[in-house]
Chain A
Amino acid sequence: MSVPTRDVVDGTSIGAPEAASAKVIKGRSLGQIAWSRLKRDKIAMAGGVVIVVLVVMALLAPVLCKLLGVDPYAFHTDLLSALSMPQGKLGGISAAHPLGIEPLNGRDILARILYGARVSLTIAFLATMLGLIIGVVAGITAGYFGGWIDTILSRLMDIIYAFPVLLFSIALLVIVSGIDALSGGVARIGILVFVIGFFGWPYIGRIIRGQVLSIREKEYVEAARSLGAGSGRILFRELLPNLVAPILVYATLTMPSNILTEAAFSYLGVGVQPPTASWGQMLSDAVNTFEIDPAFMIIPGLAIFITVLSFNLFGDGLRDAFDPRGGR
């Protein structure tokens, strides 16, 4: 990618109709420049490709399972040994079960990984969105309006920061799972989204507040005000476009941490409940048998590892791409 060409206009070209005026002059926005930088970042793009593949696989999980003839819920006890361990090498890898089968009940691991991806990505994505929405609204409000609103919101963020989130969440999830109405699969996912997203919002909230504090003092905001623009226009037309970059970067870097949190909850038994598949829950199950059948632990572990790594690499690349100090 070459350095963007600039036409020198100051002073010199006044009244001199250039030959170039025939060609359409198209400015490149900061977003387009960031995108062109990102495209040159091989590692970030690799991360991005893996993310896309993962998302597509998760979305098409039922179709893929049908095509491969695997079912995440079907028991295959006939393929297990007397000790309830998968027969065959590497956890029972075979043509019918490309990644083997689970110990104890013989469910297909590939199918459960695919369905687990749906659960993990859905929960992480929705939790990120929830945290983002609360965080961005709170951050903009605190930063833009300042005063006592800022004081209240900032103290609230401090309190949530200081909260023993993991312990509290586990306790909350245990209590909630005792309530019958909330023990269904979808309700369970909803609760996880709420817990993970709600405790995550202060992080983005602080970043956005800081950004708004610096942007609101910029002269272009004063210029808009001196033209008679109201708060709504200043917030949505002047401030928000400048917040897109930190929001995007933060979202891609929050996704992996939310995936890990969800996996941790499921591992600890307070997350998604069987028979719904989840990577963390598979890891948890594998603990009992990994000495005999390590494949059952390695496969969901790898799935988590690859997903988190891809999101982190992509997020880092995105941050570098948006950083004005980076070279073009």
Chain B
Amino acid sequence: MTTPDSGASPVGDALLRITDVKKHFPINRGIIIQRRVGAVRAVDGISLSVFPGETHGLVGESGCGKSTAGRVITRLLDITSGSVVFDGRDITNLSAAKMRPIRSDIQMIFQDPYSSLNPRHTVGTIVGAPFRIQNVKTENGIKREVQDLLARVGLNPEHYNRYPHEFSGGQRQRIGVARAIALRPKLIVCDEPVSALDVSVQAQVVNLLEDLQSEFGLAYIFIAHDLSVVRHISDRVSVMYLGKIMESASRDELYSASLHPYTQALLSAVPVPDPEVESRRERILLSGDLPSPSNPPSGCVFHTRCWKVQERCKVEVPVLVESSPGHTVACHYPEVRNVLAVDIPGYVSDPNGEPDGADFASQ
């Protein structure tokens, strides 16, 4: 199944274009002779594009394959099928050795600030590792470069000799950010970079990421399950469910005029900071659990939990189609719905009100 590109933007060449990428983890049985009995379809045919300087949000509930998608893009995991083209070069099947020079252009920020820094290395060693591994010569020596990076991400450069355990979660995440931007990459895959932090620190880190983006022209793939954070930082958003992209649109369109019932269900769970709207708007509650990705439902993978399910959904796989320019959706019965606002006669809710914009606007 070929899906249309879910990140179609009218201008320029995409920095990253992934097409129908699948990542299946084999399930093996047997003690001596390993027999393949099935596969976990963590990522099952996703396509998206990221343009230079753009942030592409990737949302979905736990276990939908967002992190796997991020690791496939950075080639930390091998790809089962499909293609990944980065900066005009097909990196789908590059060997580790050929991939090495490209790695300085694709970096990653990890979710857990506690396990993403080696407890036995100093901050200087950790942030200096990109230069050493990639054998990059710096003008004033690695130490000076690292201290500049530490200052850039808001840490004290004097803490060069400290160890990760001496820092708080937010500071550690800043160290991870410093490591990721060290080689001035073009693309950073942020795998839930703020999920492990508390809200006030989340805001600081998100703002830092935005500042760095405008300073260095970075493109981000921002993986998260927090729709408010994604709304704040993303230019485009793709919604994933069970290894597939359900809907993809520009940020504003997705949040105000979503078409896919799954997107609507997710958005309806986002709290709206307007008690008038919050009390009147409809909550869409999904029943059931996420089906097993080793045995996905037939037809539309969402049909087991969809409240609009029809017979057709159980047999026919909906193709991701463009409903309007730049807005793609994979649903047989798409329907515009704004679940973040309600029509109350005589009541005007703040039209620009980001659900928790206040949190992020002020640091």
Structural contact, A222 and B204, CB atoms closer than 8 A = no
Q: Confirm or deny: B311 has a beta carbon within 8 angstroms of a beta carbon on chain A.
A: no
Structural contact, B110 and A25, CB atoms closer than 8 A = no
Q: Show 27 A/B contacts (Cβ-Cβ < 8 Å), sorted by A.
A: A4-B166, A6-B166, A9-B155, A10-B154, A10-B201, A11-B154, A18-B156, A21-B156, A25-B158, A25-B162, A27-B161, A29-B122, A219-B110, A222-B108, A223-B108, A223-B176, A226-B76, A226-B106, A226-B107, A227-B104, A227-B129, A227-B134, A228-B96, A228-B100, A228-B134, A229-B133, A241-B120
Please name the residue on chain A nearest to B171 by beta carbon.
A10
Please name the residue on chain B nearest to A11 by beta carbon.
B204
Residues of B within 8 A of A10 (CB): 154-155, 168, 170-171, 174, 201, 204
Interface 9-mer from B111-119, B244-252, B340-348: B111-119
Least CB distance, B113 to chain A, in whole angstroms: 9
Structural contact, B111 and A219, CB atoms closer than 8 A = yes
| Interface set, chain A 212-229, CB cutoff 8 A to B | 218-220, 222-229
Residues of A within 8 A of B170 (CB): 10-11
Please name the residue on chain A nearest to B200 by beta carbon.
A11
Q: Confirm or deny: B74 has a beta carbon within 8 angstroms of a beta carbon on chain A.
A: yes
Encoded as 1 (CB less than 8 Å from any B CB) or 0, chain A from 124 to 155 comes to 00000000000000000000000000000000
Structural contact, B165 and A30, CB atoms closer than 8 A = yes
Residues of A within 8 A of B133 (CB): 224, 227-229, 233
Least CB distance, B330 to chain A, in whole angstroms: 30
Structural contact, A228 and B110, CB atoms closer than 8 A = no
Residues of A within 8 A of B179 (CB): 223, 227
Least CB distance, A113 to chain B, in whole angstroms: 41
Q: Give the complex CA separation of A241 and B159 in angstroms.
A: 21
Interface size for A (C-beta < 8 A) is 34
Least CB distance, B23 to chain A, in whole angstroms: 15
Structural contact, A13 and B166, CB atoms closer than 8 A = no
Chain B, interface size category, equals 35 or more
Q: Confirm or deny: B99 has a beta carbon within 8 angstroms of a beta carbon on chain A.
A: yes
CB-CB nearest 4 A-B residue pairs: A27-B162, A241-B120, A219-B116, A228-B100
Least CB distance, A223 to chain B, in whole angstroms: 6
Q: Give the complex CA separation of A11 and B168 in angstroms.
A: 12
| Interface set, chain B 170-207, CB cutoff 8 A to A | 170-171, 174, 176, 179, 201, 204
Q: Confirm or deny: B360 has a beta carbon within 8 angstroms of a beta carbon on chain A.
A: no
Residues of A within 8 A of B171 (CB): 9-10
Q: Confirm or deny: B314 has a beta carbon within 8 angstroms of a beta carbon on chain A.
A: no
Q: Confirm or deny: A320 has a beta carbon within 8 angstroms of a beta carbon on chain B.
A: no
Q: Confirm or deny: A28 has a beta carbon within 8 angstroms of a beta carbon on chain B.
A: yes
Residues of A within 8 A of B126 (CB): 220
Structural contact, A225 and B119, CB atoms closer than 8 A = no
Q: Give the complex CA separation of A13 and B151 in angstroms.
A: 10
Chain A contacts to B: CB under 8 angstroms: 4, 6-7, 9-11, 13-14, 18, 21, 24-30, 218-220, 222-230, 233, 238, 241-242, 244
Structural contact, B159 and A9, CB atoms closer than 8 A = yes
Residues A226 and B158 in contact in the complex (CB < 8 Å), given A11-B204, A30-B119: no
Q: Confirm or deny: B57 has a beta carbon within 8 angstroms of a beta carbon on chain A.
A: no
Least CB distance, A220 to chain B, in whole angstroms: 4
Q: Give the complex CA separation of A25 and B96 in angstroms.
A: 38
Residues of B within 8 A of A7 (CB): 156, 159
Structural contact, B103 and A9, CB atoms closer than 8 A = no
Please name the residue on chain B nearest to A5 by beta carbon.
B166
Least CB distance, B97 to chain A, in whole angstroms: 9
Least CB distance, B170 to chain A, in whole angstroms: 5
Please name the residue on chain A nearest to B102 by beta carbon.
A228
Structural contact, B112 and A219, CB atoms closer than 8 A = yes
Structural contact, A228 and B99, CB atoms closer than 8 A = yes
Residues of B within 8 A of A241 (CB): 118, 120-121
Known: A10-B168, A24-B158, A227-B107. 19 other contacts (CB 8 A): A4-B166, A9-B154, A13-B156, A14-B154, A25-B158, A25-B159, A27-B159, A29-B122, A218-B118, A219-B110, A219-B111, A219-B116, A220-B115, A222-B116, A223-B110, A225-B76, A227-B103, A227-B129, A230-B96
Structural contact, A21 and B163, CB atoms closer than 8 A = no
Q: Confirm or deny: B123 has a beta carbon within 8 angstroms of a beta carbon on chain A.
A: yes
| Interface set, chain B 72-109, CB cutoff 8 A to A | 74, 76, 96, 99-101, 103-104, 106-108
Q: Give the complex CA separation of A166 and B76 in angstroms.
A: 47
Q: Give the complex CA separation of A9 and B159 in angstroms.
A: 9
Please name the residue on chain A nearest to B74 by beta carbon.
A226
Residues of B within 8 A of A228 (CB): 96, 99-101, 103-104, 133-134
Q: Confirm or deny: B130 has a beta carbon within 8 angstroms of a beta carbon on chain A.
A: yes
Least CB distance, B124 to chain A, in whole angstroms: 9
Residues of B within 8 A of A226 (CB): 74, 76, 103, 106-108
Structural contact, A219 and B115, CB atoms closer than 8 A = yes
Q: Give the complex CA separation of A191 and B96 in angstroms.
A: 44
> Looking at B99, B101, B163, B363, which has the most chain A CB atoms within 10 Å of its CB?
B163
Residues A29 and B115 in contact in the complex (CB < 8 Å), given A9-B171, A14-B154, A223-B179: no
Q: Give the complex CA separation of A225 and B118 in angstroms.
A: 13
> Looking at B158, B163, B170, B201, which has the most chain A CB atoms within 10 Å of its CB?
B158
Least CB distance, B224 to chain A, in whole angstroms: 16
Least CB distance, B42 to chain A, in whole angstroms: 16
